[in-house]
Structure 1
Amino acid sequence: MKKSNKKLLVVAIATALTAASAGSALALENQFSGAFTTFFDVSNYNNTGVIANSPKTANYFVERVRLGYTAKADDHVKLVTKFEFDYNNWGNSSYNTSSADGSLATRGGGGALGADTTNIETKHLYLDLNYPALNTKIGMMPYNDAFKGIVFDADMAGVLLSHDYSNASIAAGFFRFADSNNTFTETLGRKTHDMFSLDGSYKVSKDLTLGAGYYFIKDNSETNGTPDLTVHTLGVNAAGNVGPVALSGFAVKQFGDLAANVDAKGYAFNLGAKMPAGGGTARANFLYVSGGKDAFYVATGNGGTEGGQFYDSEMTILGRDKWATTIDNAIIYDVNNNGEGVIMGTLGYDYNFTDKLSGAANVGFASIAKDGVVRPARNSGESNYLGTEINAEAYYKLSANVTLGARAGYVILGDYFANGSDNPYDLKLIANYSF
């Protein structure tokens, strides 16, 4: 073979290999998603979370951006990521000035003149292996319980295995909430905060699905000041239709040890209903969570409660607001509710006025289930009744991805609180872009 022909052959082989590698890279499907949300808030409660006599009214702007990127290799393999950027409020800080020497960035900072603050947060970082025999998720993922999030609803690192059958599904997982070696005297994996989970559901008919869940949480990490906590949560759930009414609910019981000589004896149950009415949708929910010596355990971490909220109530102050970001306060922040539990009933109505304009109204009633072992400082009244909330919201779709809205709530306090406490209120003007 002539020297020139050899050179042409080498070039041809190199070109073929380059094309092959490029084709392999191009086969990767890049998927992007996200949301931008900002709102202006006026409230005499939500900024502080304090019920008081003649509280000052706060007004502030909040901004949040969430960006998701999924690298999909094929129908079976993908890497899922999500990142969050917050300005707790416009004007709060800039140039990493959260500490005396300016060396640390503020979580949710950077909203002041100049910006330039490091505030990126990782939400999800996990590998999703979806094969016919088994779906496997590995890494930091979003996960919530089978009981509408009253035990846990958070991002957590672990392994989740699941499989769907024709009329059933089952999932089992292991998650590590914390692993202590802060003093460098402990060996990793010995003082940990872990959870084992098992969920299953069965579709009995087109109108009835039954399910069950079991969660074993053990914490000897001493991270939360609760060494040797061992809590078993076992419950059942159901969803079905009775004529035009869609029903859902659950019943949960806990056992184990909350601490030395303190048994876990919490229990909870719920019933929710939806039905068409007057061209819209009427909703109702009832929730009971035990308190006192039967206080209900909710998952906690370094940031406090990581679950326990009951967003189905659609409350803005009495319960946690679905629009709240880092400034997140509520009279019933989680269903443990300072060890006093919850008795709550809510009614709501959703209505679409046009293809672009929609609205909703809600009313909620709440009481504690029983005085806690330690009475919260806010409990200075003589009643168990927390209060009644009335709220309403309206949204206008400016385009397929952009929504403008307003959400307002007002609570008439019950006699659980001291005489003279002002009724809390909140008003949000919202702009949201999702893609």
Structure 2
Amino acid sequence: MKKSKKLLVALAACALTAGAAVPAMALENQFSGAFTTFYDVGNFASSGAVQQDAPTANYFVERVRLGYTAKADDHVKLVTKFEFDYNFWGNGSYSVGRGQGGAIGADSVNMETKHLYLDLNYPAINARIGMMPYNDTFKGLIFDADMAGVLLSHDYANAGVSVGFFRFNDATADSDLSTPLVRDQDYTRLGRNTHDMFSVDGRYSVSKNLNVGAAYYYVKDDSTTNGTPNVKVHNLGINAAGNVGPVALNGFALKQFGDLATNVDAKGYAFNVGAKIALAGGTARTEFLYVSGGKNAFYVATGNGGTEGGQFYDAEMIMLGRDKYATSIDNAIIYDVNNLGEGVIMGTLGYDYSFSDKVSASVNAGFAAVAKDTGARAAVRGTSDSNYLGTEINAEAYYKLSANVTLGARAGYLMLGDYFAKSMDDPYDVKLIAKYNF
């Protein structure tokens, strides 16, 4: 009996020890996601082509994003997000590729990795390490994308500061020039010819009605597979946001210097002001943006898929500027604010109104011109000297079917300006949208 009692005591002690250890090791599993699909009909969005007798296209798009966060405690968590696209229904099946699998049979491999980073949050410092979403503090004009790096930040009572290092690309072609178009990555020289960015960002709360900030981003690209090597661009700017009576104002000024390429100076600059005000039960808003062009062409970060910034979604455009609903099929007159080296002068007006807890709507108008005509669109250019790209009017309305499900419609019409030949058809676009978020 004595031995049995000792054995029972030992087993109980082991059980208590294991039970006490479980909470310290347990993970809080957090799941999130979004399903979006829409039907699109129009004469521009699918091709991005301004043309005479533009044909009407119609297609369905589907996107699912799934997020998983493994939270160890209040200080440590792993953040992940994955994306699944059908570029358009009917595009293929039994295949491997980004955005594929939308045809009958499906069975395609098309999972995309968006975020994989460790988030360490301690009183002294917050550190994010890995592939993360990151954008500049100038409304994403320079960069707004997922990128791999290390971001360190710290918040004070009335201020905050962050510093970061990001590797956009590590691409060094081998030295075999006999077949230059198929040169492979030289793995013996990793880290030698890279596309990197260093960031420093600070903000200060002057009062409850005024916040100011400044940022510096240095982009260095000497990778040998990029079309524009030897990039060394310094981006320096200030931003502010505050309230003046009932009006909420925000804006920035940004200057670039350094090298866009060998013997090509970086001299781009941009400034912006935005405003919001409560009006007639809704919210009125406006944006003005100027981005230099020509010899002062503005630098926008680039990657293997094209530019990774300069979308300026604050404009709320569909065709004149980038559409917030666009997925893999993504076209616009002003695709990014570099705008084929011609820059942008843009003004927008918008109004948001909620009719009830379930019904809401918005209307927007946008006006844009190039800052400097360089002949970049000679094939569709008009005979006048006008730099005016056009005027877009759009509207959208939504109905909340439930707390997580929203049905909507969005439509727009773009009246092309005299920058384009008079024979070009005005673009238009209509979307029917279904969204589920959890």
1:156, distance to aligned residue in structure 2 (A): 0.4
Letter in 1 for 2:361: G
1:391 aligned residue (376, 391, 394): 394
Q: Work out whether 1:400 is the aligned partner of 2:424.
A: no
Deviation string for 1:216-245 (max 9, x for gaps)?
Answer: 000001232121110000000010111000
CA contact (8 A) 2:380 2:424 kept: no
Deviation string for 1:299-354 (max 9, x for gaps)?
Answer: 00001010111111100000001111111100000000000000001111111111
1:338 aligned residue (320, 331, 340): 340
SS at match of 1:128: strand
Partner of 1:101: none
Letter in 2 for 1:204: V
SS at match of 1:15: helix
State TM-score, norm by structure 2: 0.94
Q: Work out whether 1:117 is the aligned partner of 2:108.
A: yes
Partner of 2:371: 369
Partner of 2:199: 197
Identity %: 72
Partner of 1:15: 15
CA contact (8 A) 1:223 1:302 kept: no
CA contact (8 A) 1:212 1:236 kept: yes
Instruction: Report 1:134-173 matches (<5 A).
Output: 134-173=125-164
Change (3 A) 1:318 1:143: same
Partner of 2:98: 107
Partner of 1:258: 260
Change (3 A) 1:219 1:186: farther
1:56, distance to aligned residue in structure 2 (A): 1.2
CA contact (8 A) 1:106 1:117 kept: yes
1:417 aligned residue (417, 420, 427): 420
1:376, distance to aligned residue in structure 2 (A): 5.3
CA contact (8 A) 2:42 2:427 kept: yes
State TM-score, norm by structure 1: 0.95
Deviation string for 1:44-103 (max 9, x for gaps)?
Answer: 00000000111111111101011111111111111111111101111111101xxxxxxx
SS at match of 1:34: strand
Separation in 2, partners of 1:346, 1:78: 40
Partner of 2:175: none
Unpaired runs of at least 5, structure 2: 173-183
Partner of 1:45: 44
1:28, distance to aligned residue in structure 2 (A): 1.5
1:2, distance to aligned residue in structure 2 (A): 6.0
1:126 aligned residue (114, 117, 129): 117
Q: Which moved more, 1:323-332 or 1:364-373?
A: 364-373
1:372, distance to aligned residue in structure 2 (A): 2.9
CA contact (8 A) 2:153 2:160 kept: yes
Separation in 2, partners of 1:3, 1:263: 86
Separation in 2, partners of 1:172, 1:45: 41
Instruction: Report 1:299-318 matches (<5 A).
Output: 299-318=301-320
Separation in 2, partners of 1:374, 1:261: 21
Letter in 2 for 1:130: N
Partner of 1:430: 433
1:145, distance to aligned residue in structure 2 (A): 0.3
SS at match of 2:310: coil
Letter in 2 for 1:357: V
1:419, distance to aligned residue in structure 2 (A): 2.2
Instruction: Report 1:225-264 matches (<5 A).
Output: 225-264=227-266
Change (3 A) 1:348 1:146: same
CA contact (8 A) 1:292 1:373 kept: no
Partner of 1:55: 54
CA contact (8 A) 2:51 2:380 kept: no
Partner of 2:178: none
1:43, distance to aligned residue in structure 2 (A): 1.2
1:291, distance to aligned residue in structure 2 (A): 0.3
Change (3 A) 1:262 1:374: farther
Partner of 1:272: 274
CA contact (8 A) 2:342 2:376 kept: no
Tell me the C-alpha RMSD between the 2 structures: 1.6
Partner of 1:221: 223
Partner of 2:86: 87
Separation in 2, partners of 1:405, 1:209: 35
Q: Which moved more, 1:389-398 or 1:376-385?
A: 376-385
Partner of 1:102: none
Deviation string for 1:232-260 (max 9, x for gaps)?
Answer: 00000010111000100000000000011
Separation in 2, partners of 1:28, 1:191: 40
Separation in 2, partners of 1:179, 1:276: 48
Q: How many aligned positions are there?
A: 426
1:359, distance to aligned residue in structure 2 (A): 0.4
Partner of 2:65: 66
Separation in 2, partners of 1:373, 1:137: 43
Change (3 A) 1:203 1:345: same
Separation in 2, partners of 1:379, 1:168: 49
CA contact (8 A) 1:124 1:142 kept: yes
Unpaired runs of at least 5, structure 1: 97-104
CA contact (8 A) 1:127 1:138 kept: yes
